[in-house]
Amino acid sequence: MFEFEECPPRKGTGCSKWDNQGGDYIPMWVADMDLPAPQKVVDAVIRRAEHPVYGYPVLGKEYTDCVVSYYKRLYDFDLPAEWIVWVPAVMPGANMACRMLGGTIMNNIPMYPHIRKLAAETQLPRLEVPLRQDENGRYEMDWEAMETAIAAAPGVTTFVLCSPHNPVGRVFSRQELGQLADFCCRHGLTVLSDEIHSELIFDDNVHTPFFLVNDWAREHSITLTSGAKTYNIPALPMAFAIVPNAKLRQKYQAFIAGLAAVPNVLAMEAFRVSYNECGAWKEALLRHLQSNRDYMEQRIAEMPGLHVTHNEATFLAWIDCRETGLEDPWRFFREKAGVNFNNGVDFGCPGFVRINFACTRAQLTRALDQMEAALRARQG
Ligand SMILES: Cc1ncc(COP(=O)(O)O)c(C=O)c1O
User: How many domains, in total, are found in the chain?
Assistant: 2
Question: 148: domain CATH number?
Answer: 3.40.640.10
Q: Would you state the pLDDT for residue 49?
A: 98
User: Do 263 and 311 have their domain in common?
Assistant: no
Please report, in angstroms and rounded to a whole number, the separation of the first and last CA atoms in the chain: 45
The β-bridge relationship of strands 156-162 and 104-109 is: parallel
Domain boundary among 243, 277, 311: 277
Domain boundary among 277, 294, 323: 277
- Coil/strand/helix, residue 34: coil
User: Do 320 and 370 have their domain in common?
Assistant: yes
User: Do 355 and 368 have their domain in common?
Assistant: yes
Q: Would you state the pLDDT for residue 379?
A: 81
Q: Which domain holds residue 200?
A: 52-277
Which residue CA neighbors atom 13 of ligand 1 most closely? 31
Q: What atom of ligand 1 comes closest to residue 162's alpha carbon?
A: 1
Q: What atom of ligand 1 comes closest to residue 316's alpha carbon?
A: 16
84 strand-pairing partners = 242
Between the CA of 112 and the centroid of ligand 1 the distance, in Å, is 8
196 strand-pairing partners = none
Between the CA of 352 and the centroid of ligand 1 the distance, in Å, is 20
For the chain, list residues with pLDDT below 50: none
Report how far residue 329's alpha carbon sits from residue 107's, in angstroms, rounded to the nearest whole number.
25
User: Do 255 and 314 have their domain in common?
Assistant: no
User: Do 71 and 216 have their domain in common?
Assistant: yes
User: Do 101 and 219 have their domain in common?
Assistant: yes
Which residue CA neighbors atom 2 of ligand 1 most closely? 196
Whether the CB of 239 sits within 6 Å of ligand 1: yes
Question: 349: domain CATH number?
Answer: 3.90.1150.10
Between the CA of 152 and the centroid of ligand 1 the distance, in Å, is 30
- Would the pTM of this model clear 0.75, i.e. be above it? yes
Longest pairwise C-alpha distance within the chain = 64
Between the CA of 90 and the centroid of ligand 1 the distance, in Å, is 6
Q: Would you state the pLDDT for residue 233?
A: 98
The β-bridge relationship of strands 139-140 and 104-109 is: unpaired
DSSP class of 201: B
Whether the CB of 226 sits within 6 Å of ligand 1: yes
Asked, for residue 41, whether it belongs to a domain, the answer is no
Residues 6+ apart with CB under 8 A from 44: 269, 270, 272, 273
Asked, for residue 5, whether it belongs to a domain, the answer is no
| Alpha helices (runs of H) in the chain, residue ranges in sequence order | 16-19, 39-50, 61-75, 90-101, 113-116, 118-122, 143-151, 174-186, 215-219, 246-256, 265-277, 279-301, 329-332, 361-379
Report how far residue 269's alpha carbon sits from residue 266's, in angstroms, rounded to the nearest whole number.
5
Whether the CB of 315 sits within 6 Å of ligand 1: no
Q: Would you state the pLDDT for residue 361?
A: 98
CA-to-CA separations, 175 to 79, 189, 199, in angstroms, rounded: 22, 19, 20
Q: Would you state the pLDDT for residue 3?
A: 81
Sign of the dihedral defined by the CA atoms of residues 356, 112, 351, 180, in that order: negative
User: Do 251 and 308 have their domain in common?
Assistant: no
User: Do 76 and 187 have their domain in common?
Assistant: yes
Summarize pLDDT for 174-212 with one digit per residue, the tens: 999 999 999 999 999 999 999 999 999 999 999 999 999
